[in-house]
Amino acid sequence: MIFFPSLFEDELFYSAQARYHWFTGNENPRVSMKEMFGSHNICATLLFPSHLSDFCGHLPVPNTYTSDELIENHSFLPYFSPFIPEERTVKLIDSMKKRNGTSIYMMLGLAASEIRRDPFLKFCPKCAEEDEERHGEAYWHRSHQAYRVSVCYKHECSLIDSDIEVDQRHKHEMFTLSNFHRRGGCKFETVESRHAEKELFISQQSYQLLNTNFGSLGINQIRDYYVFKLQEKGLATESGRIRWLEFLPLFNQYYGQEFLSNLSSYVHPSDEDTWLHKLLRSPRVTCHPLRHILFLGFVNESVSSLNAAMNNKFDRKQQMRKILPDKKLVSKKAIMSHRVNWLRRDMEIAEEVRKVASDIAKTETKLVRITKTEVGRRLRIQPLLNRAYFNLPKTKEVMNEVIESSEQYQIRRIKWAVKQLSKQKLNVQVWEVNRAAGIKQKFEKKYRLLIEQEIQLQMVSNKETSL
């Protein structure tokens, strides 16, 4: 190379490569790749360029750019690095510097991720206009290509899809934004969004991740901080147990099902192994940055406040003491006997047991018997009920109050069956109730009078309602 264009703020490395290819006038992009990297077999990669050491070695003026500068300021690694282990970030940097670009997506878990990239390169028309005035040409902004970002972090206007595919069929092709404009590509309509505020939040947080060198924040520390924020909202107990039955509906309500579904992040309240469960349990897998952003928005935080909390070690230790004891300082036996406030924990669990039992009883779709096992399963405290039930006298008392005997469950099913059948027809027959409630033949005689009474009561209730 006899020259290479200066990279602009927030510019994709791919964009600078495309501008070089345009300036040289080379007809074949492989020729430009040969000049930049020393090999015509290198692909034009959008988010995670590789062979960067080779590129820096071919710069006309040595040390104009370093591999580290290109990775930090013009690739997508800073978007992911706060949420992955530091040792993995080191491996990714090594892969991008050397000739091992194919492993990057696998190491980040993107190949199997539910969060997919947008299919086309995007741009902000106002940014493009400003860039043309300031630099004489427009360029592809890195932050505009962030996952599921649809508005400009700066101008708060909708981003425009180009017709340039992110996953190009021809891996050596390079397109500049200015060329896209010259061939009349900038045709768009302004679309008002019902989710404008939340879309802007995602855009601004994505920009912060890409343009602030946070580095690895530690996935265990992040998880503890998230639990602490849920405790502040009353959605986690003092011991760090998540109140899932309350948390999931509130999370879905905050964003809305349509918005979350568009981001492949809707969580069904009855699911027990969702991305939120993975995010808030002891981390075994890493979660996509977009989902960290969604959680931070729910707890009224940002990536900047998360970074500040992780770096303020004193405050973090003070906060973390409220969640979990220091396992290095106390034994497991000591934790159980001294660090757990069993009286408070007993009262909290007893309250949740009563609430869960009430929720089960109110269900009008699939009926389930209220048992100790079912309540424990829904609250995710079955091991605790088996191991430390003697420490939970109030919980035990409430559990004995709310659990159903076989007969009580059968009576509830009869009342439910009568109510459901009465919605469908005026004259409900005893045999129809037996079938709907699953009454075995040997018990039909036992419950016949009860069924007849329930049918009469429901008929009266229906008449009063109609009046």
- Average pLDDT along the chain, 467 residues, taken 10 residues at a time: 91 95 92 93 88 93 89 96 93 88 82 85 94 92 96 94 77 84 56 82 95 88 93 90 92 95 92 90 84 96 91 56 46 46 87 91 82 86 74 89 89 88 85 85 87 86 68
- The token pair at 185 is 């590509």
Quick one: which of 193, 360, 72 has its CA closest to 372?
Answer: 360
- Radius of gyration over every alpha carbon of the chain, rounded to an integer in angstroms: 30
* Predicted pLDDT of residue 440: 82
300 HSE (CA, 13 A, CB side): 4
| β-bridge partners, 11 | 141
In terms of C-beta density within 10 A (0-12 exposed, 13-18 middle, 19 or more buried), how is residue 67 classed? buried
Phi first, then psi: give them for residue 37, nearest 5 degrees: -120, -10
Classify residue 7 by its DSSP letter: P
pTM of the predicted model as reported, rounded to 2 decimal places? 0.68
In terms of C-beta density within 10 A (0-12 exposed, 13-18 middle, 19 or more buried), how is residue 467 classed? exposed
State how far the Cα of 198 lies from the Cα of 466, in Å rounded to an integer: 44
Cα dihedral: 312, 314, 317, 322 (round 10): -100
Give yes or no for a contact between 214 and 303, defined as CB atoms under 8 angstroms apart.
Answer: yes
- The token pair at 330 is 């106390």
State how far the Cα of 176 lies from the Cα of 14, in Å rounded to an integer: 9
Three-state secondary-structure class, residue 167: coil
CA 74, 309, 230 angle in degrees (round to 5)? 110
* Predicted pLDDT of residue 159: 95
Helix (H) or strand (E) holding 220: helix 219-232
State how far the Cα of 97 lies from the Cα of 291, in Å rounded to an integer: 28
Three-state secondary-structure class, residue 63: coil
Quick one: which of 382, 370, 362, 379 has its CA closest to 272?
Answer: 379
Region of 427 on the Ramachandran plot (φ > 0 left; ψ -120 to 50 alpha; else beta): beta
Classify residue 217 by its DSSP letter: -
User: Amino acid identity of 353?
Assistant: V
State how far the Cα of 1 lies from the Cα of 132, in Å rounded to an integer: 25
* Predicted pLDDT of residue 192: 63
Give yes or no for a contact between 46 and 166, defined as CB atoms under 8 angstroms apart.
Answer: yes
User: Amino acid identity of 348?
Assistant: E
* Predicted pLDDT of residue 445: 87
- The token pair at 264 is 């492949």
* Predicted pLDDT of residue 168: 62
State how far the Cα of 183 lies from the Cα of 178, in Å rounded to an integer: 9
- The token pair at 408 is 């009580």
Classify residue 405 by its DSSP letter: P
* Predicted pLDDT of residue 212: 87
Helix (H) or strand (E) holding 164: strand 160-165
Give yes or no for a contact between 430 and 455, defined as CB atoms under 8 angstroms apart.
Answer: yes
Helix (H) or strand (E) holding 401: helix 393-402
Which residue, chain included where needed, has tokens 């349509």? Answer: 258
Write out the DSSP string of 10-53: TB-HHHHHHHHHHHHT-SSHHHHHHHHHS-TT----SSS---HH
